[in-house]
């Protein structure tokens, strides 16, 4: 397991808002070399690197940039909504290496012809709004953003927007609605945001981490990036590690690093491992077999899950899986945006049954009813939020169903014994 550091290397700077120390460490050299190429060459370099989006879906970044079509007026949006429980890597990047994100945005804007960029920051990160605004002002003063960047004909301005605290607004379509001042409801694709996004104009949406890896490609070369990680999932990845682990935090490792290797790097599991949730709350909950899973897009799909945001939440044998079920279903019920009926109603029904189970008033028939409800939601919900609920629910029932059944029976027995 190699320990190449890129984002985490920049994150060691004593003052992340000091642009001179960022430049002294090699910052903005990627922008210099990108501006020496044509926009088409920049896109082809990103395609050759194999960079895939770090926001969850893993869409190839170069292809997305290439697909921008239509009007001259275009926008670039950095998705810093990061509402996924157990995910805190974008906050880490924005707190410790904000100029890397701005450099990546400038390169992306040059490649795609965007004149204006927005960073949509999660509402619960107000300090990031303030620090990023200061970083933008320094970058404009030093000629890395604003008019005629580095003496070229390329101009690009960035503004920061604070989100309202909704999880679903992390979805790019809901985010664009929110940015335009509308209610944060997702909308149907196609048309994709690259065709029709903000105010009907072509818009690129990229995750914070995706943009922070772009300068690497122009500093070290597309081949260097492509040579790290696994085939089909090149490069480095930030992992948010939490739960029963000795040193929770953000770790940077090549794609394809196993769960076991990451757990060891984070000081090891506290107690005996029982379960690990990978990719966020909408991801499956695995048992100890997950220790040998390589963390990349293809391997996680093969394991029946998804790499998602790269979050890993470790749970030891003290954890009651009936309580995990309740917390997970409550999350979905609280975060459903309410736009469509199957998700609005289904999440509340699931939360109700999970709450009854966890509080000792559960009935065995709830388990089948919960599965049936998720089947309807997967087929009928409007957006991936409602469709993904089957991952945590079915994985919990498939792998830890016996424990939940025993818990329900034990609570029934205790009630009868008390009468
Ligand atoms: C319910 C939901 C929540 C999401 N939350 C985020 C998020 O917090 N941050 C993010 O970058 N992408 C999130 N996404 C994915 C975005 O829609 C989009 O794919 C991503 O921002 C594209 O950037 P990338 O290509 O760089 O990965 C979410 C998607 C869904 C369906
Ligand atoms: S599936 Fe849920 S989150 Fe998505 S639009 Fe419907 S109600 Fe909103």
Residue range 177-226, pLDDT digits in tens: 999 999 999 999 999 999 999 999 999 999 999 999 999 999 999 999 99
Strand partners, 234: 229
Nearest-CA residue for ligand 1 atom 23 is 206
Among left, alpha and beta (phi > 0; psi -120 to 50; other), residue 408 is: alpha
CA angle 401, 402, 403 (to 5 degrees): 90
Work out which ligand 2 atom sits closest to the CA atom of 174: 5
Q: What is the mean pLDDT of residues 98-118?
A: 97
Which residues are CB-contacts of 395 (< 8 A; sequence separation ≥ 6)?
Answer: 284, 285, 286, 304, 305
89 lines ligand 1 (CB under 6 A): no
Q: For the chain, count helices (H), then strands (E).
A: 18, 11
- Secondary structure (DSSP) of 376-416: HHHHH-SSHHHHTTHHHHHHHHHHHHHHHHHHHHHHHHHHH
CA 187 / ligand 2 centre spacing (Å)? 10
Look at residue 163 in the predicted model and tell me its pLDDT.
92
> Which part of the chain has CATH 3.10.20.600?
238-316
| 7-228 under CATH 3.40.50.11030, yes or no | no
1 has pLDDT over 60: no
381 lines ligand 1 (CB under 6 A): no
Ligand 2 pocket list (CB less than 6 A): 168, 186, 336-340, 343-344, 381-383, 385-386
CA 171 / ligand 1 centre spacing (Å)? 5
Work out which ligand 2 atom sits closest to the CA atom of 344: 7
Mean per-residue pLDDT of the chain: 95
pLDDT in tens, 34-87: 999 999 999 999 999 999 999 999 999 999 999 996 668 999 999 999 998 999
pLDDT in tens, 4-32: 799 999 999 999 999 999 999 999 999 99
pLDDT in tens, 380-402: 999 999 999 999 999 999 999 99
Closest by CA to 80, choosing from 98, 67, 68, 66, is 98
Q: Which ligand is nearest to the CA of 334?
A: 2
Locus of tokens 């470790």: 314
Look at residue 409 in the predicted model and tell me its pLDDT.
93
Work out which ligand 1 atom sits closest to the CA atom of 169: 3
CATH of 238-316, one of 1.10.3720.10, 3.10.580.10, 3.10.20.600, 3.60.15.10: 3.10.20.600
* Confidence band of 3 (pLDDT split at 50, 70, 90): low
pLDDT in tens, 227-268: 999 989 999 999 999 999 999 999 999 999 999 999 999 999
Work out which ligand 1 atom sits closest to the CA atom of 83: 8
407 has pLDDT over 60: yes
| 321-418 under CATH 3.40.1360.10, yes or no | no
CA 167 / ligand 2 centre spacing (Å)? 11
Look at residue 72 in the predicted model and tell me its pLDDT.
81
Mutate to test the pocket of ligand 2, among 186, 189, 378 (most ligand atoms within 8 A of CB): 186
Integer CA distances (angstroms), 329 to 10, 21, 51, 356, 377, in order: 38, 46, 33, 12, 13
54 lines ligand 1 (CB under 6 A): yes
Contact 309, 354 (CB under 8 A): no
The pTM score is 0.96
> Which part of the chain has CATH 3.40.50.11540?
7-228
- Secondary structure (DSSP) of 192-249: PTTTS-GGGS-EEEEEHHHHHHHHHHHHH-HHHHHTSEETTEESEEEEEEEESBSS-E
Look at residue 240 in the predicted model and tell me its pLDDT.
98
């Amino acid at each position: 397991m190699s320990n190449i550091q890129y984002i985490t290397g920049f994150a060691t700077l004593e003052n992340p808002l000091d642009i001179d120390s960022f430049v002294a460490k090699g910052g903005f050299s990627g922008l210099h070399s990108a501006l020496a190429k044509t926009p088409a060459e920049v896109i082809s370099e990103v395609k050759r690197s194999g960079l895939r989006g770090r926001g969850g879906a893993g869409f190839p970044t170069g292809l997305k940039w290439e697909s921008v079509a239509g009007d001259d007026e275009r926008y670039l949006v950095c998705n810093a909504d990061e509402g996924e429980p157990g995910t805190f890597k974008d906050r880490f990047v924005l707190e410790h290496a904000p100029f890397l994100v701005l450099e990546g945005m400038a390169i992306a804007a040059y490649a795609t012809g965007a004149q204006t960029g927005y960073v949509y920051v999660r509402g619960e990160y107000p300090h990031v709004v303030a620090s990023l605004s200061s970083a933008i002002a320094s970058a404009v003063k030093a000629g890395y953003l604003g008019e005629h960047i580095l003496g070229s004909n390329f101009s690009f301005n960035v503004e920061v927007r604070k989100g309202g605290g909704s999880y679903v607004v992390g979805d790019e379509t809901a985010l664009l609605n929110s940015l335009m001042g509308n209610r944060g409801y997702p909308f149907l694709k196609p048309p994709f945001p690259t065709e029709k996004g903000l105010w009907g104009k072509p818009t690129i949406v990229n995750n914070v981490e995706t943009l922070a890896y772009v300068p690497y490609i122009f500093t070290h070369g597309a081949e260097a990036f492509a040579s790290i990680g696994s085939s089909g999932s090149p490069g480095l990845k930030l992992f948010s590690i939490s739960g029963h682990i000795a040193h929770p935090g953000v770790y940077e490792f090549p794609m394809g690093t196993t769960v076991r290797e990451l757990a060891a790097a984070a000081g090891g599991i506290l107690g005996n491992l029982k379960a690990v949730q990978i990719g966020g709350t909408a991801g499956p909950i695995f048992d100890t077999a997950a220790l040998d899973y390589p963390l990349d897009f293809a391997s996680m799909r093969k394991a029946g899950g998804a790499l998602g945001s790269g979050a890993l939440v470790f749970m030891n044998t003290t954890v009651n899986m009936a309580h995990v079920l309740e917390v997970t279903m409550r999350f979905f019920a609280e975060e459903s945006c309410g736009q469509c009926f199957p998700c609005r109603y289904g999440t509340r029904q699931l939360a109700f049954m999970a709450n009854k189970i966890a509080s000792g008033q559960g009935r065995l028939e709830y388990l089948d009813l919960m599965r049936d409800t998720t089947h309807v939601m997967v087929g009928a919900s409007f957006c991936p939020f409602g469709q993904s609920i089957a991952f945590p629910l079915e994985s919990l029932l498939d792998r830890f169903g016996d424990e939940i059944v025993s818990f329900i029976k034990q609570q029934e027995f205790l009630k009868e014994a008390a009468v």
